């Protein structure tokens, strides 16, 4: 069911932590759940409150229609 009220506000979007991915031993094989591509050096990511990471460009359209993390379904505060 489409819910016109869904999605997050621009304020919430702006408040989400933004980071540039730098590859290292501990995060080398992390991938974006939405596009299923591994993160590469220099990718711009958004970090949700649940610590899950997504490409900024991938998660933006997701948040137009939903307000939850694609992975764990935690609602974005
Ligand atoms: Zn992605
Ligand atoms: Zn999550």
Determine the distance separating the centroid of ligand 1 and the alpha carbon of 7, expressed in angstroms.
18
Determine the distance separating the centroid of ligand 2 and the alpha carbon of 43, expressed in angstroms.
19
Rounded Cα distance between 71 and 53, Å, is 10
Taking 80 as the threshold, does the pLDDT of residue 26 lie above it? yes
Q: What is the DSSP letter of 37?
A: P
Q: What is the pLDDT of residues 9-23, one digit of tens each?
A: 999 999 999 999 999
CA torsion angle 75 52 8 37 (round to 10): -130
Q: What is the DSSP letter of 36?
A: -
Sign of CA dihedral 32, 37, 60, 26: positive
pTM here? 0.88
> pLDDT-based confidence at 72, cuts 50/70/90?
very high
**What pLDDT score was predicted for residue 4?**
55
- CATH number for the segment(s) 10-65: 3.30.40.10
Determine the distance separating the centroid of ligand 1 and the alpha carbon of 39, expressed in angstroms.
8
Determine the distance separating the centroid of ligand 1 and the alpha carbon of 67, expressed in angstroms.
17
Sheet holding 17-20, edge to edge: 17-20, 44-47, 53-55
> pLDDT-based confidence at 3, cuts 50/70/90?
low
The residue extents of the domains of the chain are 10-65
Q: What is the pLDDT of residues 33-60, one digit of tens each?
A: 999 999 999 999 999 999 999 999 999 9
């Amino acid at each position: 069911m489409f819910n016109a009220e869904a999605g997050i506000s621009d304020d919430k979007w702006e408040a989400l932590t933004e980071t540039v991915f730098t590859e290292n031993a501990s995060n080398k094989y992390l991938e974006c759940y939405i596009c299923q591509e591994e993160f590469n050096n220099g990718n711009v990511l958004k970090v949700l409150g649940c610590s899950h990471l997504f490409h900024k460009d991938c998660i933006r359209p997701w948040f137009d229609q939903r307000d939850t993390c694609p992975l764990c379904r935690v609602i974005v505060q």
